[in-house]
Amino acid sequence: MTVEDEYEAIYERASRDPFCTWIGVELVTISEGYAEAILRVRPDHLNFHGTPHGGCVYTVADAAFAAASNSRGERALAMETNMSYLRTVEEGETLRAVADENYCGEKTAEYEVGVFTTADERVATFRGRVYKP
């Protein structure tokens, strides 16, 4: 199996995640230690302020994190995550989460995920570590 075939197999599995499908997250790309996902903000994603619920922003970041951390075909399980929300967006905006690996050890790895608007304005920063059993 080629590296491209492996990425395609991981992409196919990750893009069928039931929760992400339900909420509307789409996996865009995946490669070694890297992934991108998008979410178009719908009316049912809004909170009582009329802005996107933090859980929706977190979910698109977490989806990119999960894809990037599992991109080598090894099982990776989240150990710790945190999210800094920097600004809000409007309904109809598309959020793009870009996950980059900062560290990859034998049993743990660390990722940073930037969440951006279509104009490349940073909306949030997600950081996560995984354990590879």
Contact 34, 97 (CB under 8 A): no
Q: What is the dihedral sign for C-alpha 103, 27, 11, 5?
A: negative
**Is a pLDDT exceeding 80 seen at residue 97?**
yes
CATH of the domain at 65: 3.10.129.10
Q: Would you state the pLDDT for residue 1?
A: 64
Domain limits for position 32: 3-131
Which pLDDT does position 6 carry in this prediction?
72
How many domains, in total, are found in the chain? 1
